[in-house]
Chain A
Amino acid sequence: MGGFFESLGDLFRALFEVFTSATMYGSAVRLGALLAFAAIGEMVAEKAGTINISVEGSLLAGAFTGTLAYHQTGSTALGLLAGVAGGLIISWIQANMSHRLTADQFVVGLTANVLVLGVAGFLNGVIDPKAASAGILEIPLLSDIPLIGPALFGQRWPLYLLYPIIPLTWWLLYRTRWGLEVRAVGENPQAADVSGIDVNKRRRQSIYYGGILAGLGGAFIVLGPIGSFETGIIGGRGFIAIAAVYFGGWRLGGVVLGSFLFGLADGFRLALPSVIANVDPPLEGAMIDGLSNASFLAALPYVLTLLVMYLITKEFRQPAALSQPFIRGLR
């Protein structure tokens, strides 16, 4: 079975090559950032008690409105701002249908996702807006760190918006009265209600926050790394962001870590074909074919996410009132 061991050796060599390539970390950070934008906002919404599956729709809406604004004005900054507005519109629908009216949050979220897909698909066909990538901004010194330096600090500038958002969110959640109330509403809405907090208002606001960040994330992926819009551009990454929130155990650091870990799986998928094509001597064998199979690679982030969720979900205590609607006097 010499062939088997040679093949196995090639497999490890391929993995080594990919994991030491700058290409992979670059893509991983870009895709991880997309997930992090969405997941940080989603975490705030979940802290207040809503599993907001319209985050997928907010991402796509942000990506599309961002593209539209860029198409009209040619300004990346305005595009990002329009992305925020797009995400906010969807979260407004979600928040008011599920926490002002009392429609089921999953039903609303799901329908909102379909709505965005329909509207963006329809208008994209009619208008055919063009976008472009923003310029690369290398942060001195930091971007000289090997491998992760260029990945984290040598990116197109919209990505850097993520970095201040992380401490800002922490401050909002853990150092302001608003954040305390948001967390209270997600843990024990009845008690929060009795102490005079407007439960559903806080929940709506937390969803808006999620929509703003997701919209920004959507606009970032178009106007940062990708530079063009298509309706499949988000392709379920909003759901992976939700998984990242679970992965992170509803703690900010964990959520960010989870986002970048899932981003790594995406980066691996993107980098693998080009990296192993350029290895000398060439890699071959059934295992390499299996590894570089397009379907396998595309499924990898989702499989990994499912696996991680299976392994980790019980380890953390979720917000006690997660996904339970609050109606005063019931329960």
Chain B
Amino acid sequence: MTARTDTLLDPRVRSGLEMAGLYVLSLAGALLLSGLLVAATGNSAFKVFGALLDGAFLAPGRWGQTLVVAAPMLLVALGMVVGVKAGFFNIGQEGQLLIGAMAMAWVGTRWPGPGPLLLFVGLALSMAFGGGWAGLAALMRFRRGVPEVISTLLLVFVAAQFSGYAITADWLLRDLDTTGPTRSVSSAPLDEAIRLPVLRIFGNEFNWGIVIALALAVLLAVALVRSVWGFRLRMLGHNPAVAQKAGVASTRMGSLALFLSGGLAGLAGAVMLAGGSSGFRVTSGFSQNFGWQGLLVALLARSSPILAIPMAIVFAALRTGSGFLAATGVDRKIVDVVQALLVLALLIPPAVQFIRDRRKALAMAGEEA
């Protein structure tokens, strides 16, 4: 009776299956390309993936390490999500993260007071400073129309040089301890009491950072979908003109989004520092590309706070896993390639689907007309 008796499956199921197939194909393509790159250098791709798996999860104590790494990545990704949802592309997380870590180090090594209080103040201040750094971009955007894509990027380089200066300047962050044979060019290590408490489960150790990050992910997911604030934020992101007409104060809302976005990146820096990154010190190269990678996590998660959780763990796993690559003789930089290819691959299926949906819709509109 219907015209579509020739298809075995319900069209919706079929298009769902096709999408899944497309995802599998894209991912396989990305992994294949990475494998080829490894093979081209005369190594075994299987050994590489085996080593990655060992280093990330299977070897004793490794999955705890992966969670430690996942926490700041997730926080950075959440920051990216807030910005993107409001229609702003803050991609200066690498710098905001550094600023946050510096704020934490400043509170932790220069302020008097009881440890747990300082930890709390440090985390809060790192958010404020990271947010303020992104706030500079907001200022440029809303007062002068400078696109935040460019200003946030340029601010990364300024932040990197600023932190490089701060760890050499006694009046800022440099370790004042002169008893050692050579003075270290870094901040002083955080005291025991100012570090994030460590949890031990099944022989794996990880700090409270991942708990904070998970809680914020859930909080953000709920706030975006269930609160008036989240609704306004998303409206601004979808269509600024409509949002303006509906009474959303676009400058205030946009500034807040950028501030929060940078604040979460700043918090990520503080969590890294108080979680033991670089021996609880701000050193040169402290950020270790966490800002860039967290950003990719958000892109991979298609700006969903909940999806960002598994994606952050995947990226963290690639990073901790890469620590085991030395044994295979492959440079750990291969992991950067894998990450970028994964992101590019996952961009393809939704774009293809979008085009197909539109073609279908146009065809139907054509039939009716």
Contacts and interface: CB of A to CB of B under 8 A. Distances in A.
A294 B145 CA distance: 31
B333 A118 contact: yes
Contact of A313 (B144, B154, B168): B144
A101 to B, nearest CB: 4
A299 B347 contact: no
A111 B154 contact: no
Contacts of A53: 149-150, 153
Nearest to A103: B347
B344 A97 contact: yes
B296 interface: yes
Interface string A174-186: 0000000000000
B367 to A, nearest CB: 16
Interface string A251-286: 000000000000000000000000000000000000
B147 A323 contact: yes
A20 interface: no
Interface string A107-131: 1101110110111011001100000
Contacts of B125: none
Contact of B344 (A111, A117, A305): A111
A112 B296 CA distance: 11
Contacts of A302: 154-155, 157-158, 161
Contacts of A106: 89, 91, 149
Contacts of A93: 344
Contacts of A107: 299, 343, 347
A34 to B, nearest CB: 16
Contacts of A236: 153-154, 156-157
A3 interface: no
Given A119-B37, A296-B165, A299-B161, A314 B145 contact: yes
Contact of B347 (A97, A240, A310, A323): A97
Interface string A55-98: 00000000000000000000000000000000000000100010
Contact of B146 (A51, A115, A295, A309): A309
Contact of B161 (A240, A242, A295): A295
B336 interface: yes
Interface in A305-329: 305-306, 309-311, 313-314, 323, 327, 329
Contacts of A229: none
A329 B151 CA distance: 32
Nearest to B91: A110
Which of the four size classes fits the interface of chain A? 35 or more
A86 to B, nearest CB: 16
A208 interface: no
B111 interface: no
A235 to B, nearest CB: 8
Contacts of A313: 140, 144-146
B149 A329 contact: no
Interface stretch (B190-198, B207-215, B354-362): B354-362
Contacts of A101: 347-348, 351-352, 355
B334 A115 contact: no
B41 interface: yes
B326 interface: no
B347 A118 contact: no
B87 to A, nearest CB: 11
A235 B352 CA distance: 34
A311 B37 CA distance: 46
A246 B158 CA distance: 19
Given A295-B161, A303-B158, A310-B144, A118 B337 contact: yes
Nearest to A125: B331
B333 A122 contact: yes
Contacts of B150: 51, 53, 239, 242-243, 246, 309
A310 B155 CA distance: 13
B292 interface: yes
Given A97-B351, A122-B336, A306 B158 contact: yes
B184 to A, nearest CB: 17
Nearest to A298: B161
A295 B162 contact: yes
Contacts of B339: 114, 118
Contacts of B352: 101
B295 interface: yes
A106 B89 CA distance: 8
Contacts of B168: 295
B164 A240 contact: no
Contacts of A118: 333-340
Contacts of B355: 101-102
B183 to A, nearest CB: 17
Contacts of A296: 161, 165
A327 B344 CA distance: 21
B154 A306 contact: yes
Given A102-B354, A296-B165, A305 B154 contact: yes
B103 interface: no
Nearest to A115: B340
A242 B153 CA distance: 11
Contacts of B348: 97, 101, 103
10 contacts: A51-B150, A103-B348, A110-B299, A111-B344, A111-B347, A118-B337, A122-B37, A122-B334, A243-B154, A311-B144
Interface of A: 51, 53, 93, 97, 101-103, 106-108, 110-112, 114-115, 117-119, 121-122, 125-126, 235-236, 239-240, 242-243, 246, 293-296, 298-299, 302-303, 305-306, 309-311, 313-314, 323, 327, 329
List the 7 closest pairs (A to B, CB-CB), nearest first: A118-B336, A115-B340, A299-B161, A101-B351, A295-B165, A118-B337, A122-B333
Given A51-B147, A102-B354, A309-B151, 17 more contacts: A97-B347, A106-B89, A106-B149, A107-B299, A111-B340, A114-B336, A114-B340, A118-B335, A121-B333, A236-B154, A240-B154, A243-B154, A246-B150, A296-B161, A298-B161, A302-B155, A309-B150
Interface of B: 37, 41, 89, 91, 140, 143-147, 149-151, 153-158, 161-162, 164-165, 168, 292, 295-296, 299, 331, 333-341, 343-344, 347-348, 350-352, 354-355, 358, 362
